[in-house]
Structure 1
């Protein structure tokens, strides 16, 4: 009786480096490792800079609460921002408005000699102060007190100051149904302080008109 041929078992062989699947796997691992290394290197390129912790108005004195540190990735040729590698420049002054959360340009900080505004408190009617907030910009219009006498000409309203910065707004309500009084601290150009004080002392009526595009000023 003839014996049937027995199948010969094949031994498993270790994959050769010439195996296309092995080469593809190695390449995938290499690409993933390269991309991960680039991502880590990119994150390491972030630098610490100071950002405004609140709305800063030109004329504000910088204190410990003015800034907050953030780490950002800056592109080539970007605006030079105030580095947080050094302590915040407390005691210096803001020389241009910086909104809350905005990175602080190095050019926005200066010495007292760089500040050309003074803080003046004025009272204005509640209608013209509605919606104003710290950081708003307003034009200040002055209407002198009407002169007495039948032949006196009516007072003429003029714009005294353009785009004054608002530092604070405070409204107090009088007792027994008295009308509310609104006091506004303005950063006024040094050259117009005397004219504004004289207008206030002369009982002139002040009207604050928000500048379009500023905080509380509406659209442009």
Structure 2
């Protein structure tokens, strides 16, 4: 009977640097390390900036609650924002409106000498203040109080302010309907403060009309 050939065991060989599988494995490890380093470097590209915590209005005095810090990655050419690697400029003033959640431009903050508005409180018909919130923009109309019945026919309503910023909506008084009034603080250009105050003191009727694109409801 013919005996079957017995296969001989092959000795395992140590991989050499010329082994293509070993080279591919090394390249994959190097690629993964490079991509990881790039991801970390990309994360480090983020810069700390100040973000408006609520609706900020031109004329507002900045305090500790005005801004929150956020780490963001700015695109090429996106500069001029207030960096948060320095303390917030508390005590400074807003020179223009910045909405809640927006980055704060450096140009939007300045000293008291750069502010040209003052807060004035007016009492307006509650119906005309419906939906107004901090940061809304309103046109202000004044109707002088008629001294006599005959004068009422000659009373003329005038627009005294255009796109004034609402600083705060305060309290309402009176009953429902036209007899109900709401106190509203608005920012008024310095040159127009006295005429408006005189009209209010003379018991003129003040009506606030939301400007086009005005913020309404729920403003912080």
TM above 0.5, yes or no, is: yes
Partner of 2:49: 49
Select between 77-86 and 126-135 the one with higher mean Cα deviation. Answer: 77-86
**CA–CA distance in 1 between the matches of 2:11 and 2:197?**
103
* Structure 1 alignment gaps of length 5 or more: none
Partner of 1:130: 130
Partner of 2:183: 183
Partner of 1:80: 80
Select between 30-39 and 115-124 the one with higher mean Cα deviation. Answer: 30-39
Q: Residue deviations 1:105-154, cap 9 Å, x none? A: 00010000100000000000011000001111101011122352547643
- CA pair 152-168 structure 1, distance change in 2 beyond 3 A: closer
Over 6 Å off, 4+ runs:
none
Select between 80-89 and 104-113 the one with higher mean Cα deviation. Answer: 80-89
**CA–CA distance in 2 between the matches of 1:67 and 1:140?**
30
- Deviation, 1:172, is 3.1
Contact 1:171 1:180 in 2 (8 A): no
**CA–CA distance in 2 between the matches of 1:36 and 1:134?**
46
- CA pair 77-64 structure 1, distance change in 2 beyond 3 A: same
**CA–CA distance in 2 between the matches of 1:159 and 1:174?**
25
- Deviation, 1:2, is 5.7
Aligned counterparts, 1:1-220, within 5 A? 3-148=3-148, 150=150, 153-174=153-174, 180-216=180-216
* Structure 2 alignment gaps of length 5 or more: none
Q: Partner of 1:200: helix, strand, or coil?
A: helix
TM-score (norm 1): 0.90
